[in-house]
Each structure stands twice: as C-alpha cells, then as structure tokens.
Structure 1
Amino acid sequence: MESSSPTVPFPLLQTPIESKYRVCTIPYRFPSDNPRKATPVEIQWIDLFLNSVPSFRQRAENDPTVVDAPIKAEKFAQRYTAMLEDMKKNPESNGGPPDCVLLCRLREQVLRELGFRDIFKKVKDEENAKAISLFEGVVRLNDAIEDDSKRVENLIRGILAGNIFDLGSAQLAEVFAKDGMSFLASCQNLVSRPWVIDDLDDFKMKWTAKTWKKAVIFVDNSGADIILGVLPFARELLRRGTTVVLAANDLPSINDVTYPELVEIISKLKDENGQLMGVDASGLLIANSGNDLPVIDLSNVSPDLAYLATDADLVILEGMGRAIETNLYAQLKCDSIKIGMVKHPEVAQFLGGRLYDCVFKYHEVLNY
C-alpha cells in the first residue's frame, strides 16, 4: 500500500507561480510531441527500468516474509515488464506519460500488491550494522582535520562516497553483490574535480563565514550513505550550533533508509549522555518525510516535516533520486544543496558528465 497520510507542500519550496516547480529534472517530452507515441527519452528510461527487473525479482524471490515468494516474484517481473512494454507502445497507458516518478511508483505498486513490503530489508540491516561499526573511525578521521575548509570538503566527499551504495542501479547492484563496497576506498576513488556540477569551493567559503540555524536534510540510502556520509556531516553542523532535521522515507523503497530504521540507527550511535561522538545531539531531529519512493515530489510531504522545516535556512537534498533525477532545478526560499552521485548513464548523458560523476549544487539565498 502507498503512504496513506495526508501530505502538504514543502513550505520552503517556491510557490508554483513563482518557480513553476517541475518535479522531474529531465524533460521526457515536449508539448509538440505526439501523445500516442513514446519519445526517445521515454523509451530510454523505460529500458533503464526494464534492465533493473532481474535484480528486483531476485531480491523479491528471497524475501523470507512472503509466502511463495519465488512465484510472486515472477509475477512481479511479468506484470511490471508488461506495464513498461505497454508504455513503449502507448505512453498514456498505466497513468502515463512516463517519467522517473511514475516508473518508480508503478514498480512499488506491483511489489506491494503482491505482498512485498521491503525486499531489501536483509541487505539494509547488514549494511547498517557494518556502517555502525565503522562510524567512530570515520568521525575520528574527520575530526583530525584541523582546517575547517578541508574538513568540510572531506565530509562532502564522504557523503558522495556513501551515496554509491545504491541497489536501485542495476550496475551497482551487480557490483555490490559480487564484491561489496569499501567506504574509504570509495572516498579515495571519487572522480576527479571539477565535477559535472561543482559549487564546492563557493560553499567552503560560505561555510567558514556563516552558520545556519536549522538544516533539513532529505536522506537517501541505508548503510554507508546515511551512517558514514550524512551523519558525520550532520554532526559537524550540530557542533556549529545548527539544529538538524533528517527527513527519511515513510515506507520502504529499494535500499533507502526509512523513518523507523533511522530512529533505531540514531539510538544505537548516541551514547548514554545523548551525544554523537562527543557532540550534543539534542538538536538532531528525525522526521517522516511522507514519501514512499526513491525520488521525491516536494509538493507532497508530511505535515510533521512541513512544521519542522518552516524556520529552516538550509535544505539539503541528497542522492541521485531526490537531488538529481528530481529537484535539481527546484527553487527554494532558503539556501540549498543538491548533492549526489550520477549512477545511471542516461543521467550522465543528460548532464554532460561521466558515469559516477558527482553533483554538488549550492545556491545561496540572500536576505532570507
């Protein structure tokens, strides 16, 4: 089932009249395109989702919580494949025309109708446990960097390195299943700068000159992403006096961390005094975003998140789905960062970058 909670627009999103908010970054079709014929971009993205069906089927058939999982996993593969093939013939079928939001939603819909609630639960739990054991070491490495500018760059690189743990990418799912991934090696092996979108130097100057009172971070994947990437950065913000709101998914979707999982992770990382490695974490808040997909439409978030975000002056959208495939050009009323790794060749092609290139888009709003 989809999230049944009521949703409201994210309060820091520029109103549609002001910004003409469009969720999806890539234009899949234009008004002049034939509504009955799939565009080349639509076909390209349908094929991308078709390529991911085998890895999702494999995860589903090994779900111990579902009776007759292998049979139902095959049904998922058949139904979802049929939907995708139908949209190639008629883009207006299945609620189309297709974009990354609809393609994700249809996949989740079919899985949930067949009784699959969280087919990545086992791998998420394993990666969370592994990352928790490494958290202290990663934080100590960051704390050992005395220069503020160099430390924040290292923290940003950590977010990007952690973001590679993404089982929604067919290529990365295959690599992960074969070899696993090393966080520190990923940090060292990020593609060279300048990245395809690279505002890091500008942000480092602002970092040393200003402090934000409240930051909202839309988080992405479980494991290294949230624990070794986002949380050390959030801890640094806390140390500077910033209140931090971490917004996580309401319902499971691929290996994204959920609100209940994030609550559990934070409880395991805090000490008996409520600190994160010596930093007071009383200003660390966890919110249910109201979202149930690996992408996000900022015109539909939970009322709880909207309330917590009202007085924020920094919004960070993290991950390819939330910050690149959707919302890359979203205009916000306050300072914003869109950060993630490019893990689909189709996205790299659109941006004019490389596969596994990085996006760090920083926008400052004056007089907010």
Structure 2
Amino acid sequence: MESSSAMVPFPLLITPIESTYRPCTIPYRFASDLPRKATPAELTWIDVFRKSIASFRKHAELDDSVSDAQARAAKFSERYGKILDDLEEDPESHGGPPDCVLLCRLREQCLRELGFKDIFKKVKEEENAKSLTLFEQVVKLFDNTEDGGKRLENLIRGIFAGNIFDLGAAQLAEVFARDGISFLASCENLLPRPWVIDDLETFKLSWMRKSWKKAVIFVDNSGADIVLGILPFARELLRRGTQVVLAANDLPSINDVTYSELVEIISKVKEMKDGREYILGVDAKNLLIVNSGSDLPVIDLSYVSPELAYISNDADLVVLEGMGRAIETNLYAQFKCDSLKLGMVKHPEVAEFLGGRLYDCVIKYTEVVP
C-alpha cells in the first residue's frame, strides 16, 4: 500500500495526540532549563550529529545521479554544520529546541534541498543482494532448531545481528567502509546476556502460550537487517497463523529500507506454488507491506500514513525495530496491545543513558492484560 494522504496518529498508541506521548526517549532539556542556552545533553547530541557529517558527505560525493555531486556535498557539509552551530548558540533556532527527530529532519532537508535523494542507494543495493544470497541458508539454520523457545531466541539474535548494519552510526559506517560485517559471525558475537533491557524470557513465555492475530512491524535497515533479521522472524509469525504487516519508510533516509525497496525484496524471497505464494514453504498470503509515511531513521508515531493507521487498527502486537525507532524514539511509548521493542545500542551516548554497553541489545516486551 502506498501513502498519498495527510498523516494521522498511529491508532494503537494509548495517547496518540495528548501531551503525554513524547517520541524522543532521551530528554535533551527540562522545563527548568534556560530557553536560549543549550543544555549539556543538547550539546552532546549536536556533536554526535556533527560527527556523522563526514560519512554523509563522502556518500553524497559518490552519488552519480546528482550533477556537481562533490560541490553539492561540500555545500551540504557547510550548510548542516552551520545549522548545528546555530543550534549550539541558540537552541530555539531552526525550529528547536533540538531533539533526535529535529536533528535528523534538518539533515535530510539539507540533503534534499541540494538534490540528494538517496545517497546510500548503491550500498543498500549491494547489501540487499548479498543478504538475499544467504536468506535460504539462514532460514534453514533457524528451522533446524526444534525447540520452540530456543528457535525464538535464535530469531531474536538474528534481528540484533542484522541490525548492526547501520550507516547512521559513525563508528559502524567506518567498519562497513573498511571490511563489512559477517551476519553469522555477528549472531555468535553478540554481547552476552543479560542485555541492558532484557525481557527475552518474558517474551518467550508469551510466544509459547499466545497466538497473535495481527502483528505490525516497523522495520529498519536494508541488507542483513531486513533480509536476514526481520524476514525470518516475520515468516515464523506467518507459520503460526499471524497476519504480518511490515511498515517501511516512504522516502530514503540513511540505509533504511523504503516501501518500494521492500516490495522488491519480498518479490525475490517469494515463490509460487499451485497458484499461491510461499516464503520457503510458508504460506505468504497474510504478509502485507505498507508505507509508514516516514522519511526519517526515527519515527514520531503522531504522524503515520492513513493506510498504516487503517490496517493497524485491529492489530494485537506492535514491533518496533532498530535503534532509531525502538530505542532513541518510542522506548517508553505505550500501546493498547502487546508491544515489542528490539534494537542494538550503537551510540555510546545511548549506552550511557541506558546504563549499558556499546553494542548492547534491547528487548523490551510489554503485555497488555485484558
């Protein structure tokens, strides 16, 4: 489903439009802070976004769909850097005070105003192609685990391993540029449990005794994240009889998978048999792909596409995946149904806020009792 209408609140939020919903998890400022003086948290996060400029500029320079890409990339670096300088001087400039949503939005605006629509397109295509060649092998590894609880744990670990592919985190962007990251090795090398937020055992208990009728999954990155992490998990839900809705970005942002890209990926993992579509032997008739309406690597659930709102209205499980959607935003969001937040901590500043470790994992499960 493509989105073409005005945005609406996500209907499963307990308080979708009242003042109690705040998408940003980390408070950058409090009511007692001086309005025109940047807080220590604001200065810290402005610096985090400043450190990302070099990687974004490099990818922009290589964008052959834009004429004068190098000059425009330099202009992006200068323009976004100046915006961050302004916010340091006056946090109420540029629509501030800043939070992670605003800082992401301003960066995307700078890129788009200079003609850059999708500077990570090539690396996304490469990672998607590479991951698709491993899809069947990875799914068979999961399927060969007979114990249901252990299989679920392996699927969750696969989501965390896939979520490492994040070009919005400066340190990881450097690693990918140098030598990439192996998915299977990442599964084996996750930080040991207990993780910084670790509701895995609680989720296992619900998994073994419940049957959700519809799950909405807000997906994150291209490559191993969506192909080797989320799709095997979604396939397992389909096998259990759950209708699965995958909600992907409207427009490109960093290496996040978009709606149109996800449609193409799904077409490559499906197979036809007797007039029906399957994903490695599992009936895929209950798999739906929806445009979330978002154009950022984070999400404010006050504004989603009406198509997503309509199709989500009767869901009984909401899954938010990735550091941007599940940790930096919406970690404390409350829903009318069961919810699962999954992501890897890829910024030291987030690790410090949560009291965890860099590359720690978050699995936060909240069950709504009727």
Residue 18 of structure 1, CA deviation: 7.2
Q: Is the 8 A contact 2:128 2:222 kept in 1?
A: yes
Q: Where in structure 2 are the equivalents of 1:6-155 lying within 5 Å?
A: 6-15=6-15, 20-155=20-155
* 1:362 alignment partner in structure 2: 365
Q: Aligned AA for 2:283?
A: D
Runs of 4+ aligned structure 1 residues displaced above 3 Å come to 16-19
Q: Where in structure 2 are the equivalents of 1:160-175 lying within 5 Å?
A: 160-175=160-175
Counterpart CA distance in 2 for 1:58 and 1:320 is 23
Residue 56 of structure 1, CA deviation: 0.1
Q: Aligned AA for 2:361?
A: C
Counterpart CA distance in 2 for 1:84 and 1:61 is 21
Q: Where in structure 2 are the equivalents of 1:174-185 lying within 5 Å?
A: 174-185=174-185
Deviations 1:297-334 (A, max 9, x none): 00100000001101100000000000000000000000
* 2:312 alignment partner in structure 1: 309
Deviations 1:172-197 (A, max 9, x none): 00011111010000000000000000
Residue 5 of structure 1, CA deviation: 4.0
Counterpart CA distance in 2 for 1:106 and 1:270 is 38
Counterpart CA distance in 1 for 2:180 and 2:28 is 34
* 1:280 alignment partner in structure 2: 283
Q: Is the 8 A contact 1:5 1:290 kept in 2?
A: no
Counterpart CA distance in 2 for 1:229 and 1:17 is 32
Q: Is the 8 A contact 1:19 1:331 kept in 2?
A: no
Deviations 1:93-147 (A, max 9, x none): 1111000000000000000000000000000000000000000000000000000
* 1:335 alignment partner in structure 2: 338
Counterpart CA distance in 2 for 1:298 and 1:96 is 19
Counterpart CA distance in 2 for 1:122 and 1:190 is 27
Counterpart CA distance in 2 for 1:279 and 1:4 is 32
Counterpart CA distance in 1 for 2:4 and 2:316 is 29
Q: Aligned AA for 2:119?
A: I
Q: Aligned AA for 2:286?
A: G
Counterpart CA distance in 1 for 2:4 and 2:25 is 26
* 2:326 alignment partner in structure 1: 323
Counterpart CA distance in 1 for 2:219 and 2:268 is 18
Counterpart CA distance in 2 for 1:121 and 1:17 is 34
Q: Is the 8 A contact 2:338 2:367 kept in 1?
A: yes
Q: Aligned AA for 2:369?
A: L
Q: Is the 8 A contact 1:336 1:364 kept in 2?
A: yes
Counterpart CA distance in 2 for 1:71 and 1:4 is 33
| Secondary structure of the structure 1 residue equivalent to 2:271 | coil
**Percent identity for Structure 1 against Structure 2:** 74
Q: Aligned AA for 1:323?
A: A
| Secondary structure of the structure 1 residue equivalent to 2:26 | coil
Q: Is the 8 A contact 1:196 1:358 kept in 2?
A: yes
Gaps of 5+ in 1: none
Q: Is the 8 A contact 1:217 1:318 kept in 2?
A: yes
CA RMSD of aligned residues (A): 1.1
Counterpart CA distance in 2 for 1:344 and 1:322 is 14
Deviations 1:213-260 (A, max 9, x none): 000000000000000000000000000000000000000000000000
Deviations 1:276-295 (A, max 9, x none): 00000000000000000000
* 1:210 alignment partner in structure 2: 210
**2:228 corresponds to 1:254:** no
| Secondary structure of the structure 2 residue equivalent to 1:272 | strand
Q: Aligned AA for 2:220?
A: D
Residue 272 of structure 1, CA deviation: 1.9
Counterpart CA distance in 2 for 1:198 and 1:19 is 28
Residue 12 of structure 1, CA deviation: 0.2
Gaps of 5+ in 2: none
**2:304 corresponds to 1:298:** no
TM-score (norm 2): 0.97
Counterpart CA distance in 2 for 1:174 and 1:202 is 36
Counterpart CA distance in 2 for 1:287 and 1:315 is 14
Counterpart CA distance in 2 for 1:314 and 1:9 is 17
| Secondary structure of the structure 1 residue equivalent to 2:245 | strand
Residue 4 of structure 1, CA deviation: 7.3
Residue 15 of structure 1, CA deviation: 1.8
Counterpart CA distance in 2 for 1:54 and 1:20 is 36
Change (3 A) 1:126 1:17: closer
* 2:352 alignment partner in structure 1: 349
